[in-house]
Protein backbone atom coordinates (compact mmCIF):
# COMPACT_ATOMS: atom_id res chain seq x y z
CA UNK A 1 0.00 0.00 0.00
CA UNK A 2 1.46 3.44 -0.89
CA UNK A 3 2.35 5.66 2.02
CA UNK A 4 -0.04 8.56 2.59
CA UNK A 5 1.49 11.95 3.18
CA UNK A 6 0.79 13.51 6.56
CA UNK A 7 -1.00 16.49 5.00
CA UNK A 8 -2.79 14.67 2.19
CA UNK A 9 -6.61 14.39 2.25
CA UNK A 10 -6.35 10.60 2.70
CA UNK A 11 -4.33 10.79 5.90
CA UNK A 12 -6.51 9.86 8.89
CA UNK A 13 -5.97 11.13 12.43
CA UNK A 14 -8.13 9.17 14.87
CA UNK A 15 -9.00 9.44 18.56
CA UNK A 16 -9.55 6.03 20.18
CA UNK A 17 -11.61 6.32 23.37
CA UNK A 18 -11.89 2.94 25.09
CA UNK A 19 -11.11 1.70 28.61
CA UNK A 20 -9.66 -1.58 27.27
CA UNK A 21 -5.91 -1.06 26.64
CA UNK A 22 -5.65 -4.26 24.60
CA UNK A 23 -8.41 -3.15 22.25
CA UNK A 24 -6.90 0.33 21.95
CA UNK A 25 -3.59 -1.29 21.01
CA UNK A 26 -5.26 -3.31 18.27
CA UNK A 27 -6.87 -0.17 16.83
CA UNK A 28 -3.58 1.73 16.95
CA UNK A 29 -1.83 -1.11 15.13
CA UNK A 30 -4.50 -1.17 12.45
CA UNK A 31 -4.27 2.61 11.99
CA UNK A 32 -0.51 2.36 11.58
CA UNK A 33 -1.06 -0.28 8.92
CA UNK A 34 -3.35 2.22 7.18
CA UNK A 35 -0.61 4.87 7.52
CA UNK A 36 -2.84 6.86 9.82
CA UNK A 37 -2.26 8.19 13.32
CA UNK A 38 -4.14 7.30 16.50
CA UNK A 39 -4.22 8.93 19.93
CA UNK A 40 -5.47 6.82 22.86
CA UNK A 41 -7.81 7.85 25.67
CA UNK A 42 -8.72 5.48 28.51
CA UNK A 43 -11.98 7.20 29.44
CA UNK A 44 -14.37 9.91 28.34
CA UNK A 45 -12.73 12.69 30.34
CA UNK A 46 -9.31 11.98 28.83
CA UNK A 47 -10.91 11.78 25.39
CA UNK A 48 -12.61 15.15 25.84
CA UNK A 49 -9.31 16.71 26.90
CA UNK A 50 -7.68 15.42 23.70
CA UNK A 51 -10.56 16.63 21.53
CA UNK A 52 -10.35 20.17 22.86
CA UNK A 53 -6.59 20.45 22.33
CA UNK A 54 -5.95 18.47 19.14
CA UNK A 55 -7.43 17.98 15.71
CA UNK A 56 -8.82 14.62 14.62
CA UNK A 57 -10.59 13.39 11.52
CA UNK A 58 -12.61 10.64 13.24
CA UNK A 59 -13.41 9.63 16.81
CA UNK A 60 -13.80 5.95 17.75
CA UNK A 61 -15.85 5.81 20.95
CA UNK A 62 -16.70 2.96 23.32
CA UNK A 63 -19.99 3.45 25.14
CA UNK A 64 -19.07 1.82 28.46
CA UNK A 65 -16.29 3.94 29.95
CA UNK A 66 -15.74 5.15 33.53
CA UNK A 67 -16.34 8.77 34.44
CA UNK A 68 -17.75 10.30 31.27
CA UNK A 69 -19.31 7.47 29.27
CA UNK A 70 -19.59 7.24 25.49
CA UNK A 71 -23.06 8.81 25.26
CA UNK A 72 -21.91 11.77 27.39
CA UNK A 73 -18.77 12.19 25.29
CA UNK A 74 -20.78 12.20 22.05
CA UNK A 75 -23.13 14.82 23.49
CA UNK A 76 -20.16 17.00 24.45
CA UNK A 77 -18.70 16.67 20.96
CA UNK A 78 -21.93 17.63 19.25
CA UNK A 79 -22.18 20.72 21.44
CA UNK A 80 -18.63 21.89 20.71
CA UNK A 81 -18.04 24.00 17.60
CA UNK A 82 -14.86 22.25 16.44
CA UNK A 83 -16.17 18.68 16.83
CA UNK A 84 -19.81 19.30 15.93
CA UNK A 85 -19.42 17.69 12.49
CA UNK A 86 -16.66 15.19 13.28
CA UNK A 87 -17.56 11.57 12.37
CA UNK A 88 -18.08 9.46 15.49
CA UNK A 89 -17.93 5.69 15.19
CA UNK A 90 -19.30 3.81 18.18
CA UNK A 91 -17.63 0.46 18.85
CA UNK A 92 -19.15 -1.67 21.57
CA UNK A 93 -20.22 -5.21 22.42
CA UNK A 94 -23.75 -3.95 23.16
CA UNK A 95 -25.66 -4.45 19.91
CA UNK A 96 -29.22 -4.22 21.24
CA UNK A 97 -31.63 -1.83 19.55
CA UNK A 98 -31.94 0.43 22.60
CA UNK A 99 -28.15 0.98 22.80
CA UNK A 100 -27.89 1.68 19.09
CA UNK A 101 -30.82 4.11 19.23
CA UNK A 102 -29.32 5.98 22.21
CA UNK A 103 -25.94 6.34 20.48
CA UNK A 104 -27.44 7.54 17.20
CA UNK A 105 -29.78 9.93 19.01
CA UNK A 106 -26.80 11.44 20.83
CA UNK A 107 -25.12 12.08 17.48
CA UNK A 108 -23.10 9.00 16.55
CA UNK A 109 -22.31 8.68 12.85
CA UNK A 110 -21.91 4.91 12.58
CA UNK A 111 -21.90 1.76 14.68
CA UNK A 112 -19.49 -1.21 14.72
CA UNK A 113 -19.96 -4.22 16.99
CA UNK A 114 -17.14 -5.98 18.84
CA UNK A 115 -15.40 -8.25 18.07
CA UNK A 116 -14.33 -6.10 15.14
CA UNK A 117 -13.97 -7.41 11.61
CA UNK A 118 -10.75 -5.53 10.84
CA UNK A 119 -11.08 -5.55 7.07
CA UNK A 120 -14.60 -4.17 7.42
CA UNK A 121 -13.24 -1.68 9.96
CA UNK A 122 -10.65 -0.34 7.51
CA UNK A 123 -13.10 -0.07 4.62
CA UNK A 124 -15.69 1.54 6.88
CA UNK A 125 -13.25 4.09 8.24
CA UNK A 126 -12.02 5.08 4.78
CA UNK A 127 -15.60 5.50 3.57
CA UNK A 128 -16.59 7.60 6.58
CA UNK A 129 -13.51 9.78 6.18
CA UNK A 130 -14.06 10.44 2.47
CA UNK A 131 -17.78 11.13 3.05
CA UNK A 132 -16.96 13.58 5.83
CA UNK A 133 -14.55 15.43 3.54
CA UNK A 134 -17.21 15.75 0.84
CA UNK A 135 -19.81 16.94 3.36
CA UNK A 136 -17.37 19.48 4.80
CA UNK A 137 -16.68 20.88 1.34
CA UNK A 138 -20.38 21.16 0.58
CA UNK A 139 -21.10 22.63 4.02
CA UNK A 140 -18.53 25.39 3.58
CA UNK A 141 -19.25 26.29 -0.05
CA UNK A 142 -22.08 28.69 0.81
CA UNK A 143 -20.11 30.12 3.72
CA UNK A 144 -17.15 30.80 1.45
CA UNK A 145 -19.32 32.40 -1.21
CA UNK A 146 -20.96 34.70 1.32
CA UNK A 147 -17.63 35.58 2.91
CA UNK A 148 -16.06 36.35 -0.48
CA UNK A 149 -18.92 38.68 -1.30
CA UNK A 150 -18.56 40.29 2.11
CA UNK A 151 -14.85 40.93 1.46
CA UNK A 152 -15.67 42.48 -1.92
CA UNK A 153 -18.35 44.64 -0.36
CA UNK A 154 -15.83 45.89 2.19
CA UNK A 155 -13.65 47.08 -0.70
CA UNK A 156 -16.50 48.70 -2.62
CA UNK A 157 -18.12 50.32 0.42
CA UNK A 158 -14.85 51.58 1.87
CA UNK A 159 -13.77 53.01 -1.49
CA UNK A 160 -17.17 54.67 -1.83
CA UNK A 161 -16.72 56.24 1.60
CA UNK A 162 -13.26 57.45 0.61
CA UNK A 163 -14.66 58.94 -2.60
CA UNK A 164 -17.46 60.70 -0.70
CA UNK A 165 -15.08 62.11 1.89
CA UNK A 166 -12.49 63.23 -0.65
CA UNK A 167 -15.16 64.77 -2.86
CA UNK A 168 -16.61 66.77 0.04
CA UNK A 169 -13.15 67.95 1.05
CA UNK A 170 -12.29 68.88 -2.54
CA UNK A 171 -15.55 70.83 -2.87
CA UNK A 172 -14.85 72.73 0.32
CA UNK A 173 -11.35 73.62 -0.84
CA UNK A 174 -12.65 74.78 -4.25
CA UNK A 175 -15.14 77.01 -2.48
CA UNK A 176 -12.28 78.42 -0.42
CA UNK A 177 -10.34 79.10 -3.60
CA UNK A 178 -13.28 81.03 -5.07
CA UNK A 179 -13.27 83.53 -2.21
CA UNK A 180 -9.56 83.80 -1.46
CA UNK A 181 -7.65 86.81 -2.82
CA UNK A 182 -5.65 86.02 -5.95
CA UNK A 183 -1.98 85.59 -5.12
CA UNK A 184 -2.67 84.89 -1.45
CA UNK A 185 -0.41 82.38 0.27
CA UNK A 186 -3.57 80.64 1.40
CA UNK A 187 -4.40 79.89 -2.23
CA UNK A 188 -1.18 77.92 -2.67
CA UNK A 189 -1.80 76.05 0.59
CA UNK A 190 -5.36 75.20 -0.41
CA UNK A 191 -4.23 73.96 -3.83
CA UNK A 192 -1.63 71.75 -2.14
CA UNK A 193 -4.30 70.33 0.17
CA UNK A 194 -6.59 69.71 -2.80
CA UNK A 195 -3.83 67.82 -4.61
CA UNK A 196 -3.22 65.74 -1.47
CA UNK A 197 -6.91 64.83 -1.37
CA UNK A 198 -6.76 63.69 -4.99
CA UNK A 199 -3.57 61.70 -4.34
CA UNK A 200 -5.22 59.90 -1.43
CA UNK A 201 -8.22 59.09 -3.59
CA UNK A 202 -5.99 57.78 -6.38
CA UNK A 203 -4.05 55.63 -3.90
CA UNK A 204 -7.27 54.22 -2.44
CA UNK A 205 -8.55 53.42 -5.94
CA UNK A 206 -5.29 51.66 -6.80
CA UNK A 207 -5.43 49.54 -3.63
CA UNK A 208 -9.05 48.68 -4.24
CA UNK A 209 -8.24 47.58 -7.79
CA UNK A 210 -5.39 45.41 -6.49
CA UNK A 211 -7.60 43.79 -3.86
CA UNK A 212 -10.41 43.23 -6.34
CA UNK A 213 -8.04 41.46 -8.73
CA UNK A 214 -7.00 39.04 -5.97
CA UNK A 215 -10.62 38.45 -5.01
CA UNK A 216 -11.84 38.26 -8.62
CA UNK A 217 -12.76 34.64 -7.95
CA UNK A 218 -14.53 33.22 -4.94
CA UNK A 219 -12.27 32.36 -2.02
CA UNK A 220 -11.54 28.63 -2.16
CA UNK A 221 -10.36 27.55 1.27
CA UNK A 222 -11.13 23.87 0.89
CA UNK A 223 -8.14 21.95 -0.42
CA UNK A 224 -4.99 24.05 -0.83
CA UNK A 225 -2.47 23.38 1.95
CA UNK A 226 0.48 25.71 2.56
CA UNK A 227 3.32 25.90 5.06
CA UNK A 228 2.51 28.92 7.20
CA UNK A 229 6.17 29.83 7.71
CA UNK A 230 6.69 30.09 3.95
CA UNK A 231 3.61 32.26 3.51
CA UNK A 232 4.76 34.68 6.23
CA UNK A 233 8.33 34.63 4.94
CA UNK A 234 7.21 35.79 1.50
CA UNK A 235 5.28 38.68 3.04
CA UNK A 236 8.19 39.80 5.20
CA UNK A 237 10.50 39.76 2.21
CA UNK A 238 8.03 41.92 0.28
CA UNK A 239 7.86 44.62 2.98
CA UNK A 240 11.57 44.59 3.87
CA UNK A 241 12.38 47.73 1.79
CA UNK A 242 9.68 49.71 3.62
CA UNK A 243 10.93 48.46 6.99
CA UNK A 244 14.52 49.37 6.16
CA UNK A 245 13.48 52.85 5.03
CA UNK A 246 12.03 53.53 8.50
CA UNK A 247 14.80 51.62 10.33
CA UNK A 248 12.15 49.18 11.59
CA UNK A 249 13.15 45.63 12.39
CA UNK A 250 10.79 42.69 11.99
CA UNK A 251 11.08 40.10 14.74
CA UNK A 252 9.74 36.63 13.99
CA UNK A 253 8.80 34.03 16.59
CA UNK A 254 6.90 30.80 15.96
CA UNK A 255 5.77 28.17 18.42
CA UNK A 256 4.55 26.06 15.48
CA UNK A 257 7.21 26.41 12.75
CA UNK A 258 5.97 23.36 10.85
CA UNK A 259 2.26 24.22 10.87
CA UNK A 260 0.42 23.72 7.59
CA UNK A 261 -2.88 25.46 6.99
CA UNK A 262 -5.68 24.63 4.58
CA UNK A 263 -6.57 27.96 3.05
CA UNK A 264 -6.89 30.17 0.00
CA UNK A 265 -3.26 31.30 -0.10
CA UNK A 266 -3.77 34.49 -2.13
CA UNK A 267 -6.50 35.88 0.09
CA UNK A 268 -4.76 34.92 3.35
CA UNK A 269 -1.54 36.53 2.14
CA UNK A 270 -3.56 39.61 1.26
CA UNK A 271 -5.09 39.73 4.75
CA UNK A 272 -1.89 39.14 6.73
CA UNK A 273 0.00 41.43 4.35
CA UNK A 274 -2.44 44.23 5.15
CA UNK A 275 -1.91 43.66 8.88
CA UNK A 276 1.85 43.77 8.38
CA UNK A 277 1.64 46.93 6.28
CA UNK A 278 -0.56 48.57 8.92
CA UNK A 279 1.97 47.67 11.62
CA UNK A 280 4.85 49.19 9.65
CA UNK A 281 2.79 52.31 8.94
CA UNK A 282 1.97 52.92 12.58
CA UNK A 283 5.26 51.78 14.12
CA UNK A 284 7.55 54.68 15.03
CA UNK A 285 10.90 54.88 13.20
CA UNK A 286 13.42 52.50 14.72
CA UNK A 287 10.80 50.39 16.49
CA UNK A 288 10.38 46.65 16.04
CA UNK A 289 7.35 45.01 14.49
CA UNK A 290 6.72 41.55 15.96
CA UNK A 291 5.29 38.65 13.96
CA UNK A 292 4.48 35.52 15.95
CA UNK A 293 2.51 32.32 15.43
CA UNK A 294 1.15 30.07 18.14
CA UNK A 295 -1.54 27.51 18.76
CA UNK A 296 -3.99 27.81 21.62
CA UNK A 297 -5.14 24.86 23.78
CA UNK A 298 -8.44 24.72 21.90
CA UNK A 299 -6.56 24.23 18.61
CA UNK A 300 -7.00 27.76 17.21
CA UNK A 301 -3.94 29.02 15.32
CA UNK A 302 -3.02 32.68 15.69
CA UNK A 303 -0.80 34.84 13.52
CA UNK A 304 -0.15 37.92 15.66
CA UNK A 305 1.34 41.16 14.35
CA UNK A 306 2.25 43.84 16.88
CA UNK A 307 3.52 47.30 15.99
CA UNK A 308 4.57 48.78 19.39
CA UNK A 309 3.36 52.13 18.07
CA UNK A 310 1.03 54.83 19.36
CA UNK A 311 -1.99 52.57 19.54
CA UNK A 312 -5.68 53.43 19.24
CA UNK A 313 -8.55 53.92 21.61
CA UNK A 314 -10.68 50.73 21.92
CA UNK A 315 -13.70 52.61 20.54
CA UNK A 316 -11.71 53.42 17.41
CA UNK A 317 -10.88 49.73 16.98
CA UNK A 318 -14.55 48.84 17.35
CA UNK A 319 -15.53 51.34 14.65
CA UNK A 320 -12.84 50.05 12.29
CA UNK A 321 -13.88 46.41 12.66
CA UNK A 322 -17.52 47.41 12.32
CA UNK A 323 -16.76 49.05 9.01
CA UNK A 324 -19.82 47.69 7.26
CA UNK A 325 -21.77 50.25 9.27
CA UNK A 326 -21.87 53.53 7.28
CA UNK A 327 -20.66 55.62 10.22
CA UNK A 328 -17.74 53.25 10.64
CA UNK A 329 -16.83 53.60 6.98
CA UNK A 330 -16.85 57.37 7.17
CA UNK A 331 -14.60 57.19 10.20
CA UNK A 332 -12.23 54.94 8.31
CA UNK A 333 -12.05 57.32 5.40
CA UNK A 334 -11.51 60.36 7.58
CA UNK A 335 -8.85 58.65 9.69
CA UNK A 336 -7.10 57.43 6.50
CA UNK A 337 -6.91 53.92 7.94
CA UNK A 338 -8.58 52.46 4.86
CA UNK A 339 -10.13 49.03 4.59
CA UNK A 340 -7.24 46.70 5.47
CA UNK A 341 -8.58 45.63 8.86
CA UNK A 342 -12.20 44.96 7.84
CA UNK A 343 -10.95 43.20 4.72
CA UNK A 344 -8.64 40.98 6.80
CA UNK A 345 -11.58 40.25 9.10
CA UNK A 346 -13.78 39.20 6.19
CA UNK A 347 -11.06 36.88 4.84
CA UNK A 348 -10.50 35.33 8.29
CA UNK A 349 -14.24 34.70 8.59
CA UNK A 350 -14.26 33.13 5.12
CA UNK A 351 -11.95 30.47 6.59
CA UNK A 352 -14.12 29.97 9.68
CA UNK A 353 -11.78 32.13 11.75
CA UNK A 354 -11.77 35.65 13.11
CA UNK A 355 -9.71 38.81 13.39
CA UNK A 356 -9.05 40.26 16.83
CA UNK A 357 -7.46 43.67 17.32
CA UNK A 358 -6.16 44.71 20.72
CA UNK A 359 -4.96 48.26 21.11
CA UNK A 360 -4.49 50.91 23.75
CA UNK A 361 -3.40 54.49 23.24
CA UNK A 362 0.33 54.71 23.81
CA UNK A 363 0.79 50.94 23.99
CA UNK A 364 0.66 49.86 20.37
CA UNK A 365 -1.68 47.63 18.42
CA UNK A 366 -1.79 43.86 18.15
CA UNK A 367 -3.77 42.17 15.36
CA UNK A 368 -4.47 38.44 15.57
CA UNK A 369 -5.49 36.54 12.44
CA UNK A 370 -7.14 33.39 13.80
CA UNK A 371 -7.75 30.10 11.99
CA UNK A 372 -9.85 27.24 13.42
CA UNK A 373 -8.41 23.79 14.30
CA UNK A 374 -9.90 22.05 11.29
CA UNK A 375 -7.70 24.19 9.00
CA UNK A 376 -4.47 23.44 10.86
CA UNK A 377 -2.28 20.37 10.58
CA UNK A 378 0.89 19.72 12.55
CA UNK A 379 3.26 16.77 12.17
CA UNK A 380 2.37 13.77 14.33
CA UNK A 381 3.53 14.29 17.90
CA UNK A 382 3.38 18.10 17.67
CA UNK A 383 -0.35 18.54 18.13
CB 342 within 8 A of CB 269: no
Do residues 51 and 154 share a domain? Answer: no
- The answer to whether 332 touches 338, Cβ cutoff 8 Å, is yes
70 shares its domain with 105 = yes
- Asked if 314 and 372 sit in the same domain, the reply is yes
CA torsion, ordered 181, 183, 184, 188, to nearest 10 deg: 120
For the domain that residue 94 is a member of, what is the CATH number? 3.40.50.2300
Domain presence at residue 51: yes
User: Using CA atoms in the order 325, 326, 331, 336, what is the torsion angle rounded to 10 degrees?
Assistant: 100
Shared-domain flag, residues 200 and 60: no
Same-domain pairing of 92 and 192: no
Same domain, yes or no, for 307 and 194? yes
Of 305, 319, 303, give the one whose Cα is nearest residue 354.
303
Position 47 scores a pLDDT of 94
Q: Are 342 and 196 part of one and the same domain?
A: yes
In this structure, the answer to whether residues 106 and 144 fall within a common structural domain is no
CA angle 261, 78, 373 (to 5 degrees): 15
pLDDT tens digit string along 12-30? 889 999 999 999 999 988 8
Residue 97 forms part of a structural domain: yes
In this predicted structure, what is the pLDDT of residue 216? Answer: 53
Q: Structurally, how many domains does the chain consist of?
A: 2
Per the structure, the complete domain to which residue 53 belongs is given by 13-116
Instruction: Give 367's DSSP letter.
Output: E
- pLDDT tens digit at each of 383 positions of the chain: 333 344 445 678 899 999 999 999 999 888 888 878 889 999 999 999 888 878 788 999 999 898 899 999 999 999 887 788 899 999 888 777 888 888 889 999 988 888 888 888 888 888 888 888 777 766 666 666 666 666 666 666 666 666 677 677 777 777 776 776 766 667 677 777 777 777 766 766 666 666 666 555 555 555 578 899 999 999 999 889 888 988 899 999 999 988 988 888 888 888 899 899 888 888 888 889 999 999 988 788 999 999 888 877 777 777 666 644 434 444 444 444 456 777 788 888 878 888 998 887 778 889 999 998 878 887 755 55
318 and 196 in one domain?
A: yes
Q: Domain for residue 2, yes or no?
A: no
Residue 163 phi/psi, 5-degree rounding, is -65, -45
Q: Decide if 235 is inside a domain.
A: yes
6 occurs within a structural domain: no
Considering the domain architecture, whether residues 298 and 164 belong to the same structural domain is answered as yes
pLDDT for 96-122, tens place per residue? 788 888 888 999 998 888 888 888 888
Is the residue at 3 inside a domain?
no
pTM score, whole prediction: 0.56
Amino acid sequence: MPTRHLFSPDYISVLVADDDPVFRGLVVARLERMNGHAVEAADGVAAWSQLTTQQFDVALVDLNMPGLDGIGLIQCMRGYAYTRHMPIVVMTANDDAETISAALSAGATAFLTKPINWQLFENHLNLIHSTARAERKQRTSMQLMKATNRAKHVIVDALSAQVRTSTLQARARLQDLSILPVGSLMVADTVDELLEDLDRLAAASKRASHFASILSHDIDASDQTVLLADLIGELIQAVSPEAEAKSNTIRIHSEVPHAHVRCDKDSVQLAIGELLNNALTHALPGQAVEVSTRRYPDGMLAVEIKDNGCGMHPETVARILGALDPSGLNHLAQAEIGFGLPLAKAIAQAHGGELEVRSMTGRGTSALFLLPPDRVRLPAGQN
